Amino acid sequence: EAGVTQFPSHSVIEKGQTVTLRCDPISGHDNLYWYRRVMGKEIKFLLHFVKESKQDESGMPNNRFLAERTGGTYSTLKVQPAELEDSGVYFCASSQEVGTGYEQYFGPGTRLTVT
Amino acid sequence: RKEVEQDPGPFNVPEGATVAFNCTYSNSASQSFFWYRQDCRKEPKLLMSVYSSGNEDGRFTAQLNRASQYISLLIRDSKLSDSATYLCVVRGGSNYKLTFGKGTLLTVNP
């Protein structure tokens, strides 16, 4: 069974540009999460989808970040315009259900560098 | 106060050593507790869940003290392949969000 995949693995962009990250969850997983780790900090939750619906986007830093999951399959996270402090590793995770016993499986992450 | 705090590390130990990781969490409503392992430039992977009664998986033992809001991980007879960052992770009751500590880097030396 394929795991969570993310694209691209690395992205280097200039401040003010736009970047779109993609996540393909494990097939059949309705729950999809985005997390982020900025340099020197812990991994932090950004948002949670159940199918195509946003359940919780309380961790989104500001309105420069837009996440979508059209059709309830893959998800995209767009940063527009990017700022220097957006640099970090963006992880996507998916789970079959929420709650005890349902592991969140993480993708390899997208390393974003804003220069 | 951070929601999840871990030993800052790093830890450097010889093969065969026993190493202990400690973690505290601030939200008393937290319901689920985990240790994740993250290899360099890789994704976090679940190492083990932590239960109130304590649990063991081979060389790994995890303990939870709800009264003290304290979680621990003990690795016995450490191997070179145990070298990684160990992340203490907590989840709330009806909350699916994982809250991570910063992680503790372990290097096991030959």
Q: Do B45 and A45 touch (CB under 8 A)?
A: no
**Whether residue A100 has pLDDT greater than 70:** no
User: A interface mutation test: which of B89, B97, B98 has the most A CBs within 10 A?
Assistant: B97
Going by pLDDT thresholds of 50, 70 and 90, the confidence category of residue A29 is: very high
Question: Chain A residue with minimal CA distance to B35?
Answer: A103
**Whether residue A3 has pLDDT greater than 70:** yes
Q: What is the 3-class SS of chain A, one letter each residue?
A: CCCCEEECCEEEECCCCCEEEEEECCCCCCEEEEEEECCCCCCEEEEEEECCEEEECCCCCCCCEEEECHHHCCEEEEECCCCHHHCEEEEEEEECCCCCCCCCEECCCEEEEEC
For residue B42, give how far its alpha carbon lies from the nearest alpha carbon of chain A (Å): 6
For residue A108, give how far its alpha carbon lies from the nearest alpha carbon of chain B (Å): 5
Q: Which of B32, B44, B96 is facing A43, going by the closest CB pair?
A: B44
Q: Do A106 and B43 touch (CB under 8 A)?
A: yes
CA distances from A53 to A72, A90, A98, B89 (A): 8, 20, 14, 25
Count other Cβ atoms within 10 Å, centred on residue A50: 16
In this prediction, residue A61 carries a pLDDT of 93
CA distances from A78 to A31, A33, A99 (A): 19, 14, 28
Residue B101's closest CA among B35, B49, B56? B35
**Span B22-38, pLDDT tens digits:** 999 999 888 899 999 99
